[in-house]
Amino acid sequence: MLVRGLNQAASRLKTFGAGIKAIGTKMFAAGAGIITPMVAAAKMFGDAGDRMAEMSARTGIAVEELSTLGYAAKMSGADLEDMEKSVKKMQKFITAAAGGTAAANEALAEMGLTARQFVGLAPDEQMKLFADRLAAIKDPTLRAATALEIFGRGGTSMLPMLSLGARGIEALQERARSLGLQMSTEDAEAGHAFSKALETLWLVLQKSAKTIGAALTPMLHGMAQWLTTVVVKLNAWIKANPELIRYLFQMGVLVAATGSALVVLGMTIKYVGVALATIASIGKFVVVSLAMVKAVILGLLSPLGLVIGAFAGFAAYQLYATGKGGEALAWLGQRFGDLAKDATTSFDAIGNALASGDVGLAAKVLWSALTMEFQKGRLELQKIWYDLWGGLQITVAETWSEIRISMADAWLSISNTWASGIYLLKVLWSGFMKWHRDQSEGLAGYLAKKMVDQDAGNKIVEEDVASMNAGKGHVTEQRIAEIRAEAEAGKKSIDEDVNATLAANKTKLDAELAANEQVAAAAKKLAQGEHDAKLDEIGKLLAAKQDALAKEKATELAATQGKLDTATAEWQAAVKAAKALPGNLGKSDALDTKLDKFKGQIVDLEGLMNATSASKTSVAGTFNASAAWGMAAGGTAAERTAANTERTALATEAMKNRLAYYHQNFNFGS
């Protein structure tokens, strides 16, 4: 119940939390929907105000008039930029006329105007005066030419508005005011200030980004150098170990080829199984089928069959291998040669043991041979594996060590830079404080000396007044000299105090600088010690890794070598014991005689089978091929056992003779 209650509470809390999250998301979206257009409106207002304020400053037209003229220009097919260009050109034209330019004055005269009429008028009023005169020109071509001469190229765009005359322009301006399109100077200045504030903010943000970049540049530079070092070392390692790279490729092809060979072997074994099943179900062809199976097995287990199967499986590998591939094939050829020798020796021993009737010893020879060859292959594969995997592990360990060393170097650089920066700040602060103390002391001394002079002057005046009041006349020059001498002595004492204080400030500064330098040196020494300890640790870890891999390799190879030595000794002992048995049945003519006798028995067996099948006598049970075989061999169990043993010896001797034939004619193992 408690667990169920907790689960229900957890489910409710999850549902409640999801609901709160959904409400918060919707509120955030609603707030963003309110804020975003307002921010956009503020940005638009700032841009418009900035534009109006700057254009007003460039043209000399008030913001209020400029905003309404902009509406008039817009309604006439022009815009503020066209009007600004036209106003600038108009002002140049008026200036030229006022300066006495003949062409400008002639153009004004043709319109019934003079340069004096434009004096004291605002630029928008000057433009309206020209608009009245242009509107009075009936010839459109002349009107356009005159507008072009006064207002420049912008006059062509402004001509529809100018043709309205002053009243028409003012009517459009009044329309703009009634629509609330007029902008005040205060709004324009506010928009201008806001726009400049945004530009300043953007510049500050850009500076912040640059500052961050400047702070990260040393670290990123170090990382780039480290990456370059790693890639260079990796390339150098690959260049220094081309054999390993080629060997990796060869290993891949070798594995693929071995797989294909195993597929072929599996299919062959499958077909052998099918043949055995057929033999079990069809008794009439027992002898022929056994002969076929025997031929297949002998072919697979003979040195010739092994070599042919191996070369068939590695045909693809031979096509791709170059350079070291030839050496690899030579190595494989040597291994298969050794395998052929071992197989020949083993089959001779097995045949001798079987011919002598010692099936257990034959099995022991076979099992010890298989164990020995397995341990040989395992030892070679372990050598290859440890050369490859161990090399890769060492490379990874070295690369990681280089990474850690680079990081330690970077940290040492950062630590030293930090210590130097702190030292520099302390030096600057100490220097500033000394300067401040020196200036304060100098100012205090200067004021003190001025006060001494003031006191001396006051004393001279007081004594002079007292002497005059006493009827003794003015103070003597000697007394004035004495007072001034006392003042000079006082000022000298002040100077000595000031100089002593300045010297003490200098001594204090030197002490602070020395102490700060010692602190910085100690910090750098500590960082260097930690750096050296870290490098020593990295080196020890790398060496320990290398030693561990070497020990692991040596231990595994030694263990496998021990197993191989044990298996080899057992195989050699079994072969020696098998060869010592009296298993030779004689020369080939005796063997042929025995085989002929065996074939005669097979003929008798077939006759007996035919006679039995032709008989009408009913028998109980199911026909058994092995029973028929026993009937042909003799009546008693002892006779059947003797016959079977003799046939086994004959077959084994035949296998030995075939192996010897292959060995002599195909030179296996030589």
Per-residue model confidence (pLDDT) at position 650: 66
Per-residue model confidence (pLDDT) at position 629: 39
Angstrom distances, CA of residue 530 to CA of 222, 536, 572: 19, 10, 62
| Statement: residue 56 has pLDDT above 70 | yes
Which tops the pLDDT comparison, 415 or 660?
Answer: 415
Query: Which residues, other chains included, contact 542 with Cβ-Cβ below 8 Å and sequence gap of 6+?
Result: 397, 398, 401
| Statement: residue 494 has pLDDT above 50 | yes
Query: Which of these ranges, 153-162, 557-566, 632-641, has the smallest mean pLDDT?
Result: 632-641
Per-residue model confidence (pLDDT) at position 215: 67
- Confidence category of residue 522, pLDDT binned at 50, 70, 90: very high
Instruction: Quick: pLDDT tens for 378-390.
Output: 888 888 888 888 7
Please check whether residue 542 is in contact with residue 396, taking contact to mean a CB–CB distance below 8 angstroms. Answer: no
Counting residues of the chain whose pLDDT is more than 90, the rounded percentage is 8
Query: Which of these ranges, 230-244, 540-554, 648-662, has the smallest mean pLDDT?
Result: 648-662
**What is the DSSP secondary-structure string of 240-293?**
H-HHHHHHHHHHHHHHHHHHHHHHHHHHHHHHHHHHHHHHHH-GGGHHHHHHHH
Q: Can you give the pTM of this predicted structure?
A: 0.36
Q: Region 492-518: what's the mean pLDDT?
A: 91
Instruction: Quick: pLDDT tens for 331-340.
Output: 556 666 777 7
Please check whether residue 65 is in contact with residue 173, taking contact to mean a CB–CB distance below 8 angstroms. Answer: yes
Burial class, 477, CB count within 10 angstroms (exposed 0-12 / middle 13-18 / buried 19+): exposed
Q: Which two tokens stand for residue 496?
A: 């000595």
- CA atoms of 168 and 172, how far apart (whole Å): 6
**Residue 143 CB neighbours (<10 A):** 18
Per-residue model confidence (pLDDT) at position 321: 47
Please check whether residue 300 is in contact with residue 268, taking contact to mean a CB–CB distance below 8 angstroms. Answer: yes
Task: Report CA torsion sign: 227, 228, 231, 234.
Answer: negative
- CA atoms of 199 and 186, how far apart (whole Å): 20
Greatest mean pLDDT among 152-156, 227-231, 412-416 = 412-416
Which tops the pLDDT comparison, 448 or 26?
Answer: 448
Query: Which of these ranges, 1-5, 39-43, 548-552, has the smallest mean pLDDT?
Result: 1-5
**Stretch (H or E) spanning 21:** helix 2-59
- Confidence category of residue 19, pLDDT binned at 50, 70, 90: confident
Per-residue model confidence (pLDDT) at position 500: 92
Nearest to 87 by CA among 157, 33, 18: 157
Give 625-632 contacts, CB < 8 A, sequence gap 24+.
625/283, 625/286, 628/283, 629/605, 631/605, 632/601, 632/602, 632/604, 632/605, 632/608
Residue 106 DSSP SS3: helix
Q: Which two tokens stand for residue 23?
A: 């409400």
Per-chain mean pLDDT for the chain: 75
